[in-house]
């Protein structure tokens, strides 16, 4: 994997690895990671402090067995993590961050505390001298806690070297004056930065830091001690480039210019400045800002300047092209980098000491660079890419062909090829450069210096003129879209005056005159068109604002008009008064909405997870940020995983976003809000499955998941939720809203938002339908329409009938308005023909646990006759209406059941699967039993369909099973948990009573059976009567005349519980003995 970039990313990555470091090999790996981290971020105090603390913990853990290390690992650890290595690492870290004047004391205080702890154990003179040297060196470095360090040194001298206290302290104070003065000069900036940090104003902090940095960079020329000034500036750069400006291209560029200037200054002066490795700096700069073309170009130029080999410089170019961020800001960064690379190739070929094949290598590289840039631009902008307006790479190639290869014709072909591009052909600068190149070629050709010149034919000498250069200027003047034609005309006339024949000059004057006339005419037409457009725009504005025109007409004459009251003013006071009421209503609605489950605003999208990441590992990783309701994992083509995690609340999402760019194992994950990723999609074909919907949205972007609703309680639902990987793809999908699918379905595709839930429509939902019961069995629709039409306009009347067409006494009547339906309730308890009507408003119910689809051609239920009567038959097999009614046995033989159907699959999708194997008479979907009942046209089809459908995968992971209707009805409904339930506890095994492991088994209770009060005895046997008075007491207590029954305490119940086993054993023994 690629190394992390930035201080926080390195710390997160190393922290993730250190938490899983349970053996010596893993701990050594963490040390190696820390080495890479400090190499990538050499000025990061946090990384150095974490590195030294980790190494010191390894040193202390391997010294004893308290840390739990195996004995063998302890022995190896003592050889690897020695005391001297640990102290040396602390010293190395301090040298890297010592000039961070604001926070270097955090590292120093921890280091010196370890040194003092060791000295307290040994108290040897060598340790005293070592720590005294550390204090003296520290006090000569400017830092914010200089007084505290001085106090620590004073205490140290008092304890360990009191005899030399006065001399040591006097010497240190004198040598530290320059350090104190340096900090005093910078203290105002530090105070301003601290105030910005406390206020939380990040923009002010950045502005103050840039001002501070600009001031610090200028001190190298003003300071008497340039070494200290450069060190302090490098310390400040280390602060900003590892923290607030870690990914700021401008600051990295300023730092690069500063270091380059230091190099130039060091060459001219005798002072040795502490300049870091400039190539390592550019490596860090390009890793932090990989999109910066100027930084890549400076990196290549610096590598060339220090004498890097061709292959090493080429590796920089490959690193730039391999990064995915080089075209972040368009083609500018790509062109900057390739310009530097092509410049390097050209200079390498022109070097006198270059190898023989350098020119050929450069030509191949230049042509390849031109092709790569063109492909890159077309991939980025498609057909809109028109090339580099400054034609930088082409000019480098032309110079190489002209000066190194001497291929003038080839170079001219490149000029002509560029002249055919409108972007360049409309630029006067391009034609002037083309002209100058032709003039350079013309002047570079040697003249004939023969001592005996040939006699010209006809006695006339041939004049050598730059005709190709003249043609270039003529081509430029001929273009009507040239951006500065006057400039080209002036150069053309001057050129003809200087180099051409008289006739060519005469022709040139004519060309320029005509071109200027055409140019003047064209500009007059453009000006007239612009003026007309301006006037039209002014007229449109005047027409749209008549009030301003009236005011302008009224103002010159008459007294000043008073302001008239506008209709909106009258309601202003009312609106102000109800403003608080509306706000309260909005707050209440918001509070009510928060109680609902809102997946879209409580979800996050996590990408770049390891391929072996499980749900358990992901839940464990995010559990500290909130309760997880649900998560979906998807495998990506790049062998990583992505997941959409739903939390309980939006606050949990904000906490989980803190894991963005942190590490999950060795993968740096991306965590983004799930808002705007999920769409509510409806009104698509009923047979549409997940594959159909993915194909529907394939041009919009990557579909992450599709969630269908459960049909267990309403089989007529037809919608789904489509989640996309990014917001751009979801936005493109919303543009499909309103499009027509299959010439009849108008697709609905909107962002999923529970707060914008659409109210139900229809007569029942709007309160326009009444339900009438106890309708006369001989009444028809017209009779009911006549009666209820007196209360309003009746839209429809529907009488419920059985399969034989008989009136069942229930009717539904729809009115046009809700008021008319409510008025019709007056007919309740009124007599209609032979019945007393019961009229009520229809109530809406969503419980529709089954769906039925029939084929009318094979319907077993005959339609009613024209007069409403039904023809009855005496025998089941007697023909009726030209057909034969099937017997129950025949229906059973041609009926089968399909099981294991998910409750998200509707009846249309089931029918589409089943009807391939035979003609269907009737299909009933039963989501409450995870299946469907299918009646075919003949019994033979049942066998064929059963064999074909058994094992068929209707959705991924769900295979169908076939069987009988009785087997289906024994199946239970599907239980799906879309929320992750935690804390269920241990699941009891089948047949084991709940809590069996916590309580003793219950004692056997012996109760007498009514009428059988004991064993059967022989004649004359009389049982002894036992009377202890309990019965009388019980009777008295029940009548209220006896003594009160004593209430038992917890101790009494405990004693009864413990003694119950002994008493039961005694009773059993007595019973056995009696027998």
Question: Averaged in consecutive runs of 10 residues, what is the pLDDT profile of the chain (1075 residues)?
Answer: 85 90 92 94 95 95 87 90 94 95 94 92 88 93 94 91 86 91 94 92 93 93 90 94 92 95 84 89 95 95 93 95 90 95 94 87 94 93 89 94 92 94 92 95 73 54 81 92 91 92 91 91 88 85 58 42 39 38 43 57 89 88 87 86 89 87 84 90 90 92 90 84 91 91 88 71 84 91 90 91 82 92 91 90 73 58 35 37 68 90 90 90 89 90 89 89 90 70 45 41 43 42 43 41 48 52 42 37
830, 938: one domain? no
- How far is it, in rounded angstroms, from Cα 333 to Cα 821? 72
Measured distance CA(751)–CA(759) in Å, rounded: 16
Residue 836 and residue 909 in one domain: no
Residues 6+ apart with CB under 8 A from 864: 801, 804, 805, 870
Q: Are residues 609 and 731 in the same domain?
A: yes
- Judge if 799 and 711 occupy the same domain: no
Of the three residues 938, 970, 1002, the one that is the final residue of a domain is: 970
* Separation in Å, CA 394 to CA 146, 318, 381: 59, 21, 20
Same domain? For 611 and 730 the reply is yes
pLDDT given for residue 453 in this prediction: 56
Other C-beta atoms within 10 Å of 748: how many? 17
Count of CA atoms in the C-beta half-sphere (13 A) of 835: 16
Domain match, 809 and 728 both: no
pLDDT at 977: 58
CA dihedral (791, 796, 802, 804) positive or negative: positive
Q: What is residue 542's predicted lDDT score, i.e. its pLDDT?
A: 76
The CA dihedral of 237, 238, 239, 240, to the nearest 10 degrees, is 50
Q: Tell me the C-alpha distance between 224 and 234, whole Å.
A: 17
What count of residues does the chain have?
1075
Q: For residue 796, what is the enclosing H or E element?
A: strand 794-801
Distance CA 685, CA 743 (A): 11
Do 202 and 258 belong together in one domain?
A: yes
Packing angle of the helix pair 502-544, 485-499 (nearest 10 deg): 170
Number of C-beta neighbours around residue 928 at 10 A: 18
- Beta-carbon count within 10 A of 275 CB: 15
* Closest among 527, 492, 536 to 513, alpha carbons compared: 492
Q: What is the pLDDT of residue 979?
A: 55
Flag whether 823 is in a domain.
yes
Residues 611 and 728 grouped into a single domain: yes
CA-to-CA distance for 795 and 763, rounded, in angstroms? 10
In-domain check, residue 983: no
| Same domain for 832 and 800 | yes
Whether residue 32 lies inside any domain: the answer is yes
Confidence (pLDDT) at 600: 77
From CA 478, how far away is CA 482, in angstroms rounded? 9
**Rounded distance between C-alpha atoms, residue 688 and residue 722, angstroms:** 13
pTM listed for this prediction: 0.63
Tell me which residue range forms the domain holding 953: 851-863+887-970
What does the alpha-carbon distance between residue 454 and residue 448 come to, in Å, rounded to a whole number?
11
Q: Is residue 564 part of a domain?
A: no
Which of 936, 970, 1004 terminates a domain? The answer is 970
User: Does some domain include residue 31?
Assistant: yes
CATH number, residue 619: 3.30.70.330
Residue 559 resides in a domain: no
pLDDT at 551: 43
CA 570 to chain CA centroid, nearest Å: 49
CA distance linking residue 544 with residue 535, whole number of Å: 14
Which one of 222, 244, 271 terminates a domain? Answer: 271
In a domain, 808, yes or no: yes
Residue 446, φ and ψ in degrees, nearest 5: -75, 145
End-to-end CA distance of the chain: 85
The answer to whether residues 13 and 3 touch, using CB atoms and an 8 Å cutoff, is no
Give me the number of domains the chain comprises. 5
CA dist 296 and 338 (Å) reads: 9
Q: Looking at the structure, do residues 667 and 722 belong to the same domain, yes or no?
A: yes
In a domain, 822, yes or no: yes
Query: Do 719 and 648 belong to one domain?
Result: yes
Nearest to 443 by CA among 473, 469, 415, 414: 469
Whether residues 688 and 661 fall in one domain? yes
Between the alpha carbon of residue 767 and those of residues 756, 762, 785, 816, 839, the distances in Å are 22, 9, 18, 10, 13
């Amino acid at each position: 994997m690629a190394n992390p970039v930035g201080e926080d990313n390195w710390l997160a990555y190393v922290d993730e690895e250190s938490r899983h470091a349970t053996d010596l090999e893993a701990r050594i790996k963490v040390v190696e990671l820390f080495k890479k981290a400090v190499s990538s971020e050499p000025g990061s105090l946090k990384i150095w402090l974490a590195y030294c603390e980790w190494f010191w913990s390894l040193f202390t853990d391997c010294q004893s067995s308290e840390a739990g290390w195996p004995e063998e690992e302890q022995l190896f650890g003592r050889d690897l993590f020695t005391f001297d290595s640990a102290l040396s690492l602390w010293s190395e870290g301090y040298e890297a961050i010592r000039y961070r004047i604001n926070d270097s004391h955090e590292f120093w205080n921890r280091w010196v505390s370890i040194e003092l702890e060791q000295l307290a154990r040994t108290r040897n003179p060598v340790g005293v001298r070592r720590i005294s040297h550390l204090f003296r060196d520290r006090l000569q470095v400017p830092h914010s806690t200089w007084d505290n360090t001085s106090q620590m040194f004073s205490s140290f001298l008092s304890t360990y070297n009191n005899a030399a206290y006065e001399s040591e302290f006097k010497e240190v104070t004198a040598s530290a004056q320059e350090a104190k003065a340096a900090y005093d000069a910078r203290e105002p900036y530090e105070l301003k930065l601290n105030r910005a940090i406390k206020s939380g104003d990040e923009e002010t902090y950045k502005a103050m830091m840039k001002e501070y940095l600009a001031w610090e960079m200028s001190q190298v020329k003003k300071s008497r001690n340039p070494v200290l000034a450069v060190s302090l500036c490098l310390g400040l750069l280390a602060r900003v480039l590892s923290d607030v400006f870690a990914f700021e291209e401008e600051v990295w560029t300023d730092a690069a210019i500063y270091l380059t200037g230091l190099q130039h200054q060091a060459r001219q002066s005798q002072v040795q400045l502490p300049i870091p490795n400039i190539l390592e700096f550019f490596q860090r700069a390009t890793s932090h800002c990989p999109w910066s073309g100027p930084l890549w170009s400076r990196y290549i130029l610096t590598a060339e300047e220090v004498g890097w080999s061709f292959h090493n410089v080429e590796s920089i170019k490959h690193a730039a092209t391999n990064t995915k961020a080089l075209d972040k800001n368009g083609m500018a960064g790509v062109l900057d980098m390739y310009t530097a690379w092509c410049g390097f190739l050209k200079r390498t070929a022109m070097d006198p000491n270059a190898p023989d094949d350098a020119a050929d290598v450069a030509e191949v590289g230049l042509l390849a660079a031109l092709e790569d840039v063109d492909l890159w631009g077309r991939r980025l902008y498609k057909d809109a890419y028109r090339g580099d307006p400054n034609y930088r790479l082409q000019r480098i190639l032309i110079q190489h062909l002209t000066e190194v290869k001497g291929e003038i014709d080839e170079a001219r072909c490149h000029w002509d090829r560029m002249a055919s591009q409108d972007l360049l052909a409309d630029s006067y600068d391009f034609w002037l450069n083309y002209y100058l190149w032709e003039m350079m070629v013309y002047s570079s050709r040697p003249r004939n210096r023969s001592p005996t010149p040939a006699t010209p034919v006809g006695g006339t000498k041939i004049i050598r003129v730059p005709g190709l250069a003249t043609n270039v200027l003529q081509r430029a003047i001929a273009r009507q879209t040239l951006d500065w034609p006057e400039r080209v005309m002036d150069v053309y006339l001057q050129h003809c005056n200087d180099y051409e024949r008289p006739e060519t000059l005469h022709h040139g004057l004519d060309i320029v005159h005509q071109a200027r006339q055409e140019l003047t005419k064209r500009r007059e037409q453009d000006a007239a068109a612009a003026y007309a457009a301006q006037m039209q725009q002014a007229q449109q504005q005047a027409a749209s604002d008549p009030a301003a025109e009236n005011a302008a007409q009224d103002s010159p004459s008459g007294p000043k008009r008073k302001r008239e009251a506008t209709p909106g003013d009258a309601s202003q006071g009312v609106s102000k008064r109800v403003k608080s009421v509306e706000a309260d209503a909005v707050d209440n609605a918001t509070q009510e909405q928060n109680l609902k489950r809102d997946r879209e605003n409580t979800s996050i999208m996590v990408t770049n997870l390891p391929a072996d990441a499980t749900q358990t590992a992901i839940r464990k990783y995010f559990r500290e940020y909130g309760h997880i309701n649900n998560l979906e994992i998807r495998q990506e083509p790049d062998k990583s995983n992505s997941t959409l995690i739903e939390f309980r609340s939006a606050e949990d999402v904000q906490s989980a976003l803190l894991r963005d760019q942190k590490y999950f194992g060795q993968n740096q994950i991306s965590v983004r809000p799930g808002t705007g990723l999920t769409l509510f999609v409806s009104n698509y074909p009923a047979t549409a499955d997940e594959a159909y919907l993915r194909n529907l949205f394939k041009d919009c972007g990557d579909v992450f998941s599709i969630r269908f609703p459960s049909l267990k309680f309403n089989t007529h639902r037809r919608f789904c939720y489509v989640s996309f990987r990014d917001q751009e793809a979801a936005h493109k999908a919303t543009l499909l809203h309103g499009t027509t699918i299959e010439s009849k379905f108008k697709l609905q595709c909107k962002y999923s938002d529970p707060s914008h839930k659409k109210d139900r429509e229809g007569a029942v939902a709007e309160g326009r339908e009444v339900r009438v019961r106890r309708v006369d069995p001989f009444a028809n629709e017209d009779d009911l329409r006549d009666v209820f039409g007196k209360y309003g306009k009746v839209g429809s009347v529907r009488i419920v009938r059985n399969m034989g067409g008989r009136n069942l006494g229930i009717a539904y009547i729809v009115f046009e308005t809700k008021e008319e339906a409510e008025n019709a309730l007056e007919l309740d308890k009124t007599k209609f023909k032979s019945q007393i009507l019961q009229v009520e408003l229809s109530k809406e119910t969503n419980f529709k646990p089954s769906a039925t689809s029939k084929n009318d051609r094979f319907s077993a239920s005959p339609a009613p006759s024209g007069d409403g009567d039904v023809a009855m038959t005496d025998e089941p097999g007697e023909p009726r209406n030209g057909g034969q009614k099937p017997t129950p046995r025949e229906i059973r033989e041609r009926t089968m059941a399909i099981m294991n159907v998910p409750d998200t699959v509707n009846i249309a999708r089931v029918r589409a699967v089943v009807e391939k194997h035979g003609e269907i008479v009737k299909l009933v979907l039963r989501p409450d039993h995870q299946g469907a009942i299918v009646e075919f046209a003949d019994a033979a089809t049942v066998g064929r369909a059963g064999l074909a459908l058994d094992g068929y995968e209707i959705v991924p992971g769900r295979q169908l099973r076939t069987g009988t209707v009785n087997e289906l009805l024994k199946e239970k409904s599907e239980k799906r948990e879309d929320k992750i339930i935690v804390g269920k506890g241990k699941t009891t095994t089948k047949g084991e009573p709940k809590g069996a492991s916590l309580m003793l088994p219950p004692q056997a209770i012996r109760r007498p059976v009514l009428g059988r009060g004991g064993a059967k005895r022989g004649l004359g046997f009389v049982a002894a009567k036992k009377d202890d008075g309990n019965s009388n007491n019980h009777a008295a207590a029940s009548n209220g005349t006896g003594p009160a029954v004593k209430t038992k305490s917890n101790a009494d119940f405990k004693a009864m519980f413990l003694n119950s086993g002994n008493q039961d054993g005694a009773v059993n023994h007595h019973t056995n003995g009696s027998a």
